[in-house]
Chains A and B, each alone.
Chain A
Amino acid sequence: MRKTLRQMRPVYVVGIGLHRYQRLSDTPYVTLGLTAVREALNDAGIEWKSVESAYTGTAFIGMAASRPMLRHLGATGIAMAQVENASASGSTAVRQACLDVASSLTDVSLAVGVDKPGPIAGAPGKTNIHDLVGRRVVPFTHFALLANEYMNRYGATAEQVAMVAVKNNRNGANNPYAQRQKAVTLEEVLAGPQISGSLTRLQCCPVGEGAAAVLVASDDAIEKLRIDRSRAIRVTASVSRSERVYRDAKNFDAELTRETVAQAYQEAQIEPQDLDVVELHDAFTIEELLYVEAMGLCGEGEGARMISSGAVDIGGKCAISASGGLLAMGHPIGPTGTGQIAEITRQLRREAGARQQPNARTGLAHMVGVGAVCVVHVLQKDS
């Protein structure tokens, strides 16, 4: 019989670590990744030899990234592999680690996202299917088209869309791991430079380098390794889906998110109003509006008003992109989805300092990737 993650044995995040997201530099990916993994091991209070499998979320480093990095922690002979799922690579690495523990194949598993984005052509350009625009439409124009359509449909303004960048940069200013750590005004966001349609530079996420690591473990491991149970955060849903043909849908991106998140709610047995913190794929400002609606956090067309109302600020009903999101924390591709799990874990442990969402108990992490794919996790603090 099929089971959901929640119906298998419990899986907990027990350790988190990051290397700051930053502009591309000469720092080797090995240094980025090891910094994050060592921080996660310290955080969990366990040794590398206790880790039984490792998944490296990465899209740009190239073949065989894991062992040349992880051998420097001591070559213990454990299972390791790379996970590539476009922007959702790091989320998928977390999912694979969770599945190992949930299925009892391991007691402790590692997901580490690490990347140094470069000019590597993706497979979608190699299908030999051509359209009328080719490379003249890149992601920022895809989302500029959706922004224009959204504003026209609901009477939202360019200022309301740009407010997402104001909020997320304010959050990112309090995140030492964020690539952009500076609060910006609405005027600064709108001042440009213009990129595409109504989208300005600060409404598009920075793509740099970095790393994020998450250690997941079973109850047995928590017991045996004497991990602090009060800081362990349970993963209650892990859902991975890909786009279908939505013949009547207005917006494929929102539709894929809608059905993936709906399945995650069902598996975790929660409702949208239970969420205290959400990290979502805000690579471009307009996406946050589309996805808060698709997640059922507000009604259709109400996203712009919800952002301006303060309801999704830290301290509001549900803090969205408390880390700064992709817009401020950054989007180094491989690490991004793993970093979201680290942020939600920090929030649910109440260890997020200046960006702490009060009384956070339930969080959701959401990434989409070119293709398109969507990966969603729900994390909950045990009562």
Chain B
Amino acid sequence: MPEPATPSTELFSSAAQPTLNGRRCRACGYVFFPPQSYGCEYCGAPTDQLEPKSLSGLGSLASFATVHLHQGKEIEAPFTVGLIVLDDGPAVRAILMQRTDDGLKIGDRMRAVIVETNSEGGRARELRFTKEETAR
């Protein structure tokens, strides 16, 4: 029996406003991110029940922390990690464009942006979040 077709495991899609590539369980309706095709964590439905579900890159900031100590080479401290509750449901953790927490507060509106980074394998693209500029 052939392996079921596995949707791309890319985490996001490029567009004027980038979206996150989540999954939805057809059996129970559970929506999740990051994407995986092993089986539904909520109800146990198998791979063929998990369908791609595009999630809006808009949400609100549920928490944040500026990291002062970091050993990996892929990013230099300080940098700030945010927990963002997407308007489409799931909560995701992402690197914020704001390097420190100056001016950030819980409840801030956030949107996803694609940035070019230098990683070991050359240039890469990743999804980060930034605070929405409020129009006043």
Chain A residues within CB distance 8 Å of chain B: 127-137, 140-141, 144-149, 152, 193-198, 245, 247
Complex Cα distance, B81 from A196, in Å, reads 10
Contact code string B1-40 (vs A, CB < 8 Å = 1, else 0) = 0000000010100000000000000000010011110100
Complex partner residue of A149 from B92, B94, B106, CB under 8 angstroms = B106
B41:A194 contact, CB within 8 angstroms: no
Chain B residues within CB distance 8 Å of chain A: 9, 11, 30, 33-36, 38, 41-42, 62-70, 72, 74-75, 79, 81, 83, 92-95, 106, 126-128
A131:B93 contact, CB within 8 angstroms: yes
CB neighbours of A132 from chain B (8 A): 11, 34, 92-95, 126-128
B30:A133 contact, CB within 8 angstroms: no
CB distance from B60 to the nearest CB of A (A): 12
Complex Cα distance, B35 from A135, in Å, reads 18
CB neighbours of A130 from chain B (8 A): 9, 11, 34
Return 10 A-B CB contacts under 8 Å, by A number. A128-B9, A131-B33, A132-B128, A134-B74, A135-B74, A136-B81, A141-B65, A148-B64, A196-B65, A245-B41
Complex Cα distance, B94 from A34, in Å, reads 45
Complex Cα distance, B95 from A152, in Å, reads 20
Most buried by B among A128, A136, A140, A247: A136
Complex Cα distance, B126 from A134, in Å, reads 11
Given A194-B68, A197-B66, 18 further pairs, Cβ under 8 A: A129-B36, A129-B38, A130-B34, A131-B33, A132-B11, A132-B128, A133-B81, A133-B95, A135-B74, A136-B79, A137-B81, A141-B67, A145-B81, A145-B83, A196-B68, A196-B69, A197-B65, A247-B42
Complex partner residue of A145 from B11, B35, B65, B126, CB under 8 angstroms = B65
A144-B65 contact, Cβ under 8 Å, with A136-B95, A152-B106: yes
Complex Cα distance, B47 from A225, in Å, reads 56
Complex Cα distance, B69 from A245, in Å, reads 31
**Residue in B closest to A152 when the chains form the complex, CB atoms:** B106
Complex Cα distance, B68 from A196, in Å, reads 6
CB neighbours of A131 from chain B (8 A): 11, 33-34, 92-93
Complex partner residue of B94 from A127, A133, A140, CB under 8 angstroms = A133
Complex Cα distance, B117 from A136, in Å, reads 14
CB distance from B74 to the nearest CB of A (A): 7
CB distance from A245 to the nearest CB of B (A): 5
B9:A145 contact, CB within 8 angstroms: no
CB distance from A383 to the nearest CB of B (A): 45
Complex Cα distance, B28 from A247, in Å, reads 12
Complex partner residue of A245 from B30, B33, B93, CB under 8 angstroms = B30
**A-B complex: 5 closest residue pairs judged by Cβ atoms:** A197-B65, A144-B65, A149-B63, A194-B68, A145-B63
Complex Cα distance, B64 from A193, in Å, reads 19
A149-B83 contact, Cβ under 8 Å, with A137-B93, A247-B42: yes
A145-B64 contact, Cβ under 8 Å, with A132-B93, A136-B74, A245-B41: yes
CB neighbours of B68 from chain A (8 A): 193-196
CB neighbours of B9 from chain A (8 A): 128, 130
Complex Cα distance, B74 from A137, in Å, reads 12
A136:B72 contact, CB within 8 angstroms: yes
Most buried by B among A134, A141, A193, A198: A141
Complex Cα distance, B90 from A135, in Å, reads 20
**Residue in B closest to A198 when the chains form the complex, CB atoms:** B65
Complex Cα distance, B108 from A152, in Å, reads 13
Complex Cα distance, B34 from A127, in Å, reads 12
CB distance from B12 to the nearest CB of A (A): 8
A196-B66 contact, Cβ under 8 Å, with A132-B93, A136-B74, A136-B79: yes
CB neighbours of B127 from chain A (8 A): 132
Most buried by A among B62, B65, B81: B65
B93:A135 contact, CB within 8 angstroms: no
